[in-house]
Amino acid sequence: MKTDYQTLRVEMHGAHVLIVTLNRPDVANALNTQMGRDLLDLWTGLIAEPGEVRGVVLTGAGGRVFCAGGDLKERNGMTKAQWEAQHEIFERQYWALLDCPVPVIAAVNGPAYAGGCEMTLACDFAYAVPTARFALTEVTLGIMPGAGGTQLLPRAVGERRAKEIILTGKPFGAEDALRWGIVNRLCPPEALMQDALDTAATIAANAPLSVRQAKKSIHHGLQMDLKNALLFEIEAYNRLIPTKDREEGIRAFNEKRKPAFKGE
């Protein structure tokens, strides 16, 4: 797995948890073209070959900001063609994040605006510090959310709340984000990463193929009517029956010991 990126810090925490840090703290971890390329490469790599990675924690460098959204200084003066070419990279990295088979937890250590808020929404779930702020500010800049915001936000908070957030462009706090279902837990700043890493480690201790199939079933099943979603679920379930991990899980239960899952 590649770990050498210009705009990201990528490091393993233990045997199975990967920490990914958006690493442009001097510009509030704003998303520029290179960060888009780096994230696309990272998520695509985890889709193709997750290897020993069973959980990911995504956070921002500098301790103050998660991600301020797109780098507007880089975008200043872009032609229509340049803007569209850059956004194509952004779109594909967000889609790759959504398709990543490994669970991704956002550890939101500060403001998550525009594309940063969309990145939070694209993760499987999120923990945040109480001082975190969120916003989809695109309509105040003459554009609109274009990296999943108009689709992922209403799935999290409902259509009417999403319209209020997106059409006003107004920021809201972590307490609202928790109450509305955008984040799962508020953590003191000194505990945020440890809480996210503990949850990632708990997930990583489970059967990795089971976790990936369950994630896939939830994600894709929500796009279907209930009957087809139930059929999709059982197809995902049946793929786990012939695995060695299924045999190990049942054997360990009966032998009253912790299972040793290998992803096989």
Write out the E strands in the chain: 8-13, 17-22, 55-60, 104-108, 112-113, 125-128, 133-135, 172-173, 185-186
Domain of residue 112 covers 8-204
Examine the domain organization and report whether 78 and 173 are in the same domain. yes
Examine the domain organization and report whether 212 and 94 are in the same domain. no
The answer to whether 166 touches 157, Cβ cutoff 8 Å, is no
The tokens of 11 are what? 């490091």
- pLDDT value of residue 63: 85
Average of per-residue pLDDT across 109-138? 97
Q: What is the pLDDT of residues 145-178, one digit of tens each?
A: 999 999 999 999 999 999 999 999 999 999 999 9
Indicate the residue type of 51. Answer: G
Residue 133's pLDDT band (cuts 50, 70, 90): very high
Average of per-residue pLDDT across 93-117? 97
Strand partners, 55: 17
Say if 156 falls within a structural domain: yes
Say if 87 falls within a structural domain: yes
Examine the domain organization and report whether 172 and 97 are in the same domain. yes
Examine the domain organization and report whether 40 and 112 are in the same domain. yes
Say if 262 falls within a structural domain: no
CATH of the domain at 143: 3.90.226.10
pLDDT(1) > 90: no
Examine the domain organization and report whether 61 and 174 are in the same domain. yes
pTM: 0.94
Examine the domain organization and report whether 76 and 180 are in the same domain. yes
Q: Which residue shows structure tokens 């991600």?
A: 67
**Mean pLDDT computed over every residue of the chain:** 96
- pLDDT value of residue 192: 98
Examine the domain organization and report whether 40 and 121 are in the same domain. yes
- pLDDT value of residue 244: 96
- pLDDT value of residue 19: 98
pLDDT(212) > 90: yes
Examine the domain organization and report whether 111 and 140 are in the same domain. yes
Q: Which residue shows structure tokens 């009966």?
A: 254
Average of per-residue pLDDT across 5-33? 97
- Number of domains composing the chain: 2
Examine the domain organization and report whether 182 and 223 are in the same domain. no
- pLDDT value of residue 122: 97
Examine the domain organization and report whether 152 and 246 are in the same domain. no
H or E stretch covering 229: helix 226-238
Say if 3 falls within a structural domain: no
Q: What is the pLDDT of residues 45-88, one digit of tens each?
A: 999 999 999 999 999 999 899 999 999 999 999 999 999 999 99
Residue 208 burial (C-beta neighbours within 10 Å; 0-12, 13-18, 19+)? buried
Examine the domain organization and report whether 178 and 222 are in the same domain. no
The tokens of 150 are what? 């108009």
CATH of the domain at 214: 1.10.12.10
Examine the domain organization and report whether 81 and 170 are in the same domain. yes
Q: Where are the alpha helices (DSSP H) in 27-70?
A: 33-48
Round to whole Å and give the CA distance between 172 and 174.
Answer: 7
Active site members: 118, 138
